[in-house]
Structure 1
Amino acid sequence: MKEKKRFVCQQCGSVALKWMGRCPECGSWNSIVEEIIHPVEKTASCSKKPQLMDEVIYSEEERTTTYIKELDRVLGGGIVPGSLVLLGGDPGIGKSTLMLQACGFLSRDKKVLYVSGEESAKQVKLRASRLGIAGRQLYILAENDINNIEAAVRELKPPVVVIDSIQTIYSPELESGPGSVSQIRESTVRLMRLSKEAGPAIFIVGHVTKEGNLAGPKLLEHMVDCVLYFEGERYHSYRILRAVKNRFGSTNEIGIFEMRDRGLSEVESPSKYLLAGKPRETAGSAVACILEGTRPLLVEVQALVSDSGFNIPRRQTSGVDYNRAVLLIAVLEKKLGYAMGHEDVYINIVGGIKIEEPAADLAVEVAVASSFKNRPVRENVVIIGEVGLAGEVRSVSFMEKRVQEAAKLGFTEAIIPYENAAELEGLKIKIEGVRTVKEAVEVALI
């Protein structure tokens, strides 16, 4: 059979009939590479018969626990047999460490295959020894050829397989090198077929680009069952595991870990660590309660307002949407008369948490007002509420769960929307209902 040639964009994966300097799909320059496809003889395979939905037998008990509660939470309760999970994150963030620790726990009572395309078996053993991992049934395979990996999985038949990383795996049928769009796509398709046919749950470790997206074609995220992102600052000890796609669970759950000398450890009380080191009687600091999935988290909102040395003052945020922050600052200027036209405003969410829900709006407003007036927020007060353009404080959902979490950590007062305050009864915490941002600022500041 004759070899075929094609031209593939290494950024988006689109196929062109001839070489071009600029990809017509994504617009990237010098990203189209010629690839040679070696023909493979097709073999007949028996087709599967359709089944009635009622005839398919499955129960939630079939999930496999990793013995890492934070990982199980993000996965939706454990590992689903035959699933394909993609784990992405920045270099050095702890992806391989998390997977190796999970393999160590799982190998206590079942076979686990750890395929390393970046390290030798001795290097993996050295890292496992440092982490204190000595799994009885943990198998190591240092291999890059997808054909050999597939043969090893079919022969060993492990319930769980880890591929570290997908960028190092290649198929000899393709001329392009490992890490190219074609190789990543082909290897992932082969692994997906393997997981559905042979039944093992396969974890794929993937790298991210400088923009923070998973390297490879966007199709990669569509093929897998679950996409996890491991986030955090490389030089800080805390890490956040977040699901952005999950066919078997919620995408709102997060897991929080701390990187230590012996690997990653779970953070049992995230709110306590997020508030650790909070300054006392200092202007510009307020505490909010947000929901990540079903878990309420108390986070510290910090704001700094200072005189600007430029004609156009700076607005800089970390953990809060920039446009949302500008909107909230405009509300303070219009409704409370704060002159911030010549003030730089910096807003930060401590601990690397990114806030997406509007329940932290009121805490941001109070923190900015506190820094602007140089008046601290009263101690042991949690502030919850959404802010509208008219300066009104609007109600938020699951208020009772949020307030109860604050009470557990020793907070004695909660400033919340008036509508929510009317619904809460019998809580061991003082409730202060407010209707406007101006009223909330007057109540919160000393």
Structure 2
Amino acid sequence: MAKKASTKYVCQACGYESVQFYGKCPNCGAWNQMEEERVYGKTIAHPEASHTGHASSRMKPTKLDQVKGEETPRVQTQMGELNRVLGGGVVQGSLVLIGGDPGIGKSTLMLQVSAELHKSAGPVLYVSGEESMHQIKLRADRLGFAGADFYVYAETDMAAIQDVIYYLKPRFVVIDSIQTMTHEDATTTAGSVGQVRQTTAELMKIAKSNNIGIFIVGHVTKEGNIAGPRILEHMVDTVLYFEGEKHDTFRILRAVKNRFGSTNEIGVFDMQQDGLHEVTNPSELFLEERLAGANGSAVVASMEGTRPILTEIQALLTPTSFGNARRTASGLDYSRVSLIMAVLEKRAGLMLQNQDAYLKSTGGVKLDEPAIDLAIAVAIASSYREKETKPTDCFVGEIGLTGEIRRVTRIAERVQEAEKLGFERIFIPKNAMSGLTGKEKIKIVGVTTVSEVLNSVFPR
């Protein structure tokens, strides 16, 4: 009996489905994103059929105390920064999604990972839907991987890719990129919501049933989100974002979801002609270009996952030429900057309502934790009073609305990182002093209010 076909409309921006067409998506509000998809009904098997056939191979419910809680095995790569972001290495049978802007270096990263995994763990299959095998070879030669012997395959049909995977039985597979893959059950074009959803579901089934680690490369939209349905990020085990400016050589690999490790970990790389090089000490890198004697600068010891990183926060205040003062923040949360400026005006006596304020974090690092509040306040006060901060001072602390300095987490690691890089003095919340050992060589100043900090840093 022929399968009956029905029609549905799917938003290409968010994946919302509807039986009728909308010019504007009711879910995300995007215009002209609803596309028609054909859905073919499937025959429902009789309940008695579950006793035989494919259903007999399915896993059965098991009591929790009878499930083995063994540690998930990991494969270490030669890239320590990647191991850190993944939580200690690549997990067998995991599905990892790597997103980033076009041209940022995702394919270069995956080629390096493929070459190293093939040497240390076993066969690796690199599937490209964007480049031919000849182009992949030229890229590998340029990166110094001329002798690499992992498998390459230029194909976009998921059926053909699945056959090759079952034939080669690789331990790891790289799909570059998911937007170019097509599945026979989805009738829409490559890159559409239906195609991305079907191909990702098929790859998830392959990864889990065959214990194969699969890396999926995905492009991002103008808003910075991975292109395709939002459910894509929920289906995979790990989501990594590869970030950086095209005119800058530094790249940041950031974990935003990880079922096998902590989130908000970052790895720093330097993009050179021969590929990506690890930056093992990003704090020193971010601070090496500080301008001596300049005002409007403060250094903060920020935590990125389990790693402390020292970053410079810069502020520039100028008298406004319009009725309303302008506020601009790059790498910092705009609402946080506005809140701190309000506290400085109310609690520290700084007249900022007629000042345009421009703030940024250097090195392309995005800072969003509460511990950066004190450094932001010091940088703003330094630019406003046109007085420089000492280059050997570091600032850590959260600022409350009453002007108090509140404690932050992992204070010992922050102090240790500042001491390692040669800082002579660090300002921290007074209530956090109990978390230190007392053996630190750096001078530690415990403070309780933002006015106390400003009076100490900028004595009148």
TM-score > 0.5 by shorter chain? yes
Larger deviation, residues 183-192 vs 385-394: 385-394
What 5-or-longer segments of structure 1 have no aligned partner?
none
Of 180, 184, 197, the match for 1:185: 197
In 1, Cα distance between the equivalents of 2:357 and 2:28?
Answer: 36
What is the CA distance between 1:422 and its match in structure 2?
5.3
Letter in 2 for 1:239: R
- Structure 2 residue 186 is the aligned partner of structure 1 residue 174: yes
Counterpart of 2:209, as a letter, is E
Q: Where does residue 223 of structure 2 map in the other structure?
A: 211
What is the CA distance between 1:388 and its match in structure 2?
A: 0.9
1:128 aligns with 2:129: no
Q: Which residue of 2 aligns with 1:19?
A: 21
Task: Give yes or no for the alignment of 1:35 onto 2:48.
Answer: no
Which residue number corresponds to residue 5 of structure 1? 6
The aligned residue for residue 437 of structure 1 is: 450
Q: Partners in 1 of 2:327 and 2:388 — Cα distance?
A: 21
- Distance in 2 of aligned mates of 1:364 and 1:26: 34
Q: What is the CA–CA distance in structure 2 between the aligned matches of 1:108 and 1:131, rounded to whole Å?
A: 16
Matches within 5 A, 1:67-78: 67-78=78-89
Structure 1 residue 136: Cα displacement: 4.4
Q: Give the 3 Å change call, closer, same or farther, for CA 80–423 of structure 1 in structure 2.
A: closer
The residue type equivalent to 1:254 in the other structure is I
Match of 2:75, SS state, is coil
Alignment correspondent of 1:326: 338
Instruction: State the SS of the aligned residue for 1:382.
Output: strand
1:331 CA drift (Å): 1.1
User: Would you say the 8 A contact 1:384–1:416 is kept in 2?
Assistant: yes
Post-superposition offset of 1:53: 4.9
Report whether the alignment pairs 1:101 with 2:102: no
- How many Å separate the matches in 2 of 1:350 and 1:22? 39
Distance 2:42 2:192 in 1: 20
Q: State which drifts further: 329-338 or 2-11.
A: 2-11
Residue equivalent to 1:263? 275
Does the 8 Å CA contact 2:6/2:40 hold for their aligned counterparts?
no
Inter-partner Cα distance in structure 1 for 2:451 and 2:187? 66
Secondary structure of the residue aligned to 2:416 is helix
1:57 positional shift: 5.2
Structure 2: gaps of 5 or more residues: 46-52
Asked whether the 8 Å contact 1:39–1:173 carries over to 2, the reply is no
Please give the alpha-carbon distance, in whole angstroms, between the structure 2 residues aligned to 1:226 and 1:28: 27
Report the alpha carbon displacement of residue 233 of structure 1 after superposing the two structures with TM: 1.1
Aligned to 1:306: 318
- After the TM superposition, which residues 109-258 of structure 1 pair with which residues of structure 2 at under 5 Å, given as runs? 109=120, 110-134=122-146, 136-258=148-270
What are the superposed Cα offsets for residues 93-152 of structure 1, whole Å, 9 maximum, x if unpaired? 111111110001111141000000000000011111111114544000000001001111
Of stretches 168-177 and 317-326 in structure 1, the one that deviates more from structure 2 is 168-177
Amino acid in the other structure paired with 1:77: G
Q: Does 1:47 align with 2:57?
A: yes
Mapped to 2, the partners of 1:190 and 1:430 lie a distance apart of 57
2:57 is aligned with what amino acid? S
Question: 1: CA distance between counterparts of 2:173 and 2:396?
Answer: 43
Contact 1:287 1:383 in 2 (8 A): yes
Q: Following the alignment from structure 1 to structure 2, what is the Cα–Cα distance between the partners of residues 146 and 26?
A: 30
Q: Contact 1:177–1:183 at 8 Å: present in 2 too?
A: yes
Structure 2 residue aligned with 1:79:
90
Aligned to 2:337, the other structure's residue is in SS state: helix
Asked whether the 8 Å contact 2:3–2:42 carries over to 1, the reply is no
SS in 1 for 2:290: coil
Task: Give the TM-score taking structure 2 as reference length.
Answer: 0.93
SS in 2 for 1:28: coil
Q: CA deviation at 1:328?
A: 0.5
Task: Describe the SS at the equivalent of 2:196.
Answer: helix
Q: Tell me the C-alpha RMSD between the 2 structures.
A: 1.9
Give 3-state SS (helix, strand or coil) of 1:257's partner: strand
Measure how far apart 1:24 and its partner are: 3.1
Letter aligned with residue 370 of structure 2: P
Inter-partner Cα distance in structure 2 for 1:62 and 1:421: 39
Give the whole-Å Cα distance in 2 for the aligned partners of 1:143 and 1:241.
27
| Secondary structure of 1:329 counterpart | helix
Structure-1 residue corresponding to 2:417: 405
TM-score (ref. length: structure 1): 0.96
* Change in 2 beyond 3 A, CA 1:39/1:198: farther
Q: Is residue 375 of structure 2 the alignment partner of residue 363 of structure 1?
A: yes
Number of aligned pairs?
Answer: 446
User: Do structure 1's residue 393 and structure 2's residue 405 form an aligned pair?
Assistant: yes
Q: Partner letter of residue 96 of structure 2?
A: V
Percent of paired sites with the same residue: 50
1:131/1:57 CA distance change after superposition, 3 Å: farther
Name the aligned partner's letter for residue 32 of structure 1.
M
> Are the structure 2 counterparts of residues 299 and 21 from structure 1 closer, same or farther at C-alpha, using a change threshold of 3 Å?
same
Match of 2:293 in 1: 281
Q: Secondary structure at the match of 1:428?
A: coil
